[in-house]
A = this chain, B = another copy of it.
Amino acid sequence: MLMGYTVPLSPQGRSELTPAPPWHYSCDCIAIEYWADPLAVAALLPPGLAPDESSHGRAFFWFIDWQFTGSNDEVTDPARYQYREALVLIEARLDGRQVNHCPYCFVNNDAAITRCWIQGYPAKLGNIFQTRSFAAPSLAAAPIVRGSRFGASISAHGERMATARIQLEEKIDDARSVFSRPTTMRRYFPNLAASRREGPAVDELVLSLMDDLLFTDVWAGSAELALPVVAGEDMHMIAPLRVGRGYRFGMAYSVTDLPVLKNYIA
């Protein structure tokens, strides 16, 4: 009997790229509020999502240092399960409700690519870095205090896709005053058989459900963000026209479910 939540399937089930849920996460985040061309943002929305006119092209660019564990002590196998991510969340409306949608995503790990695609995050492979905050004090420690400065970057295929910096100014008591929109993603798996080429095998709008979602040490401050024009890519179409606040915080949640909002395959 072949076992595994993902390929490769095997009798022992140990080769699977990622185990089945529940998936547990803790992370450090740098999230930068900005405004892109509202028309470019609107052009990225899948069917059923409408532009959020009140957002005027508002989006957040995230850099995330993740630690993942499942049910098999994955937290002690960082070579396989620790990873980094960068993604964009653009604001939209779903049946009038304020939501986010994720049109671009990068990770540096194959177990993460797999979980991303299963959830509808359109992950490509990249190299992501963010300044970390270390406990032992020095000029290199980047402590979580007013004035502390953090940098972050994402590169894919040797091209710098985004570069950011933030400088902490004030602690935020309630993260949900900033991060309150649920996130929608598009689960998508293509067909290749010539007889089925008119569309994908899987095409759904899904909702990110985060169990036990926690934020810690949420700080806000000034920010810089650049999304340079890159040949062969188009994420720069939603480059910042204006940059808002930057946020640095810890976050944790688990994943056990992924509600399907719309099935685009009739």
Instruction: Give residues in A with beta carbon < 8 Å to B.
Output: 2, 5-15, 17, 21, 24-28, 40, 43-44, 46, 65, 67-69, 73-80, 82, 103-105, 109-110, 113, 117-119, 122, 124-125, 127, 129-132, 134-142, 149-155, 157-160, 165, 186-196, 201-202, 206, 212, 214-217, 232-235, 237, 250-260
| CB neighbours of A7 from chain B (8 A) | 117, 122, 186, 188
Given A10-B237, A124-B110, A132-B65, is A152 in contact with B78 using a C-beta cutoff of 8 Å?
Answer: yes
> CB distance A141 to B234 under 8 Å?
no
Number of copies: 4
| CB neighbours of A217 from chain B (8 A) | 135
- The winner among A13, A192, A193 for most chain B CB atoms within 10 A is A192
Besides A7-B188, A15-B104, A26-B140, 8 other CB < 8 A contacts? A2-B43, A79-B129, A80-B157, A136-B214, A154-B158, A192-B258, A193-B206, A201-B201
> CB distance B9 to A122 under 8 Å?
yes
20 contacts between A and B (CB under 8 A): A2-B44, A15-B104, A25-B140, A27-B134, A67-B134, A74-B140, A78-B132, A79-B158, A82-B129, A113-B113, A118-B189, A136-B250, A136-B251, A139-B254, A153-B158, A158-B159, A160-B160, A189-B189, A193-B257, A201-B202
Given A105-B8, A117-B7, A138-B254, is A124 in contact with B158 using a C-beta cutoff of 8 Å?
Answer: no
| CB neighbours of A155 from chain B (8 A) | 79, 155, 157-159
> CB distance B142 to A11 under 8 Å?
no
Given A75-B149, A149-B75, is A24 in contact with B134 using a C-beta cutoff of 8 Å?
Answer: no
Q: Which of B103, B110, B215, B257 contacts A192 (CB 8 A)?
A: B257
Q: Which of B17, B68, B78 contacts A151 (CB 8 A)?
A: B78
> CB distance B140 to A188 under 8 Å?
no
Q: How far is the CB of A239 from chain B (nearest CB, A)?
A: 13
Cα–Cα, bound, A195→B209 (Å): 14
Q: How far is the CB of A12 from chain B (nearest CB, A)?
A: 4
| CB neighbours of A105 from chain B (8 A) | 8
Q: How far is the CB of A214 from chain B (nearest CB, A)?
A: 5
Q: How far is the CB of A222 from chain B (nearest CB, A)?
A: 13
Cα–Cα, bound, A191→B212 (Å): 22
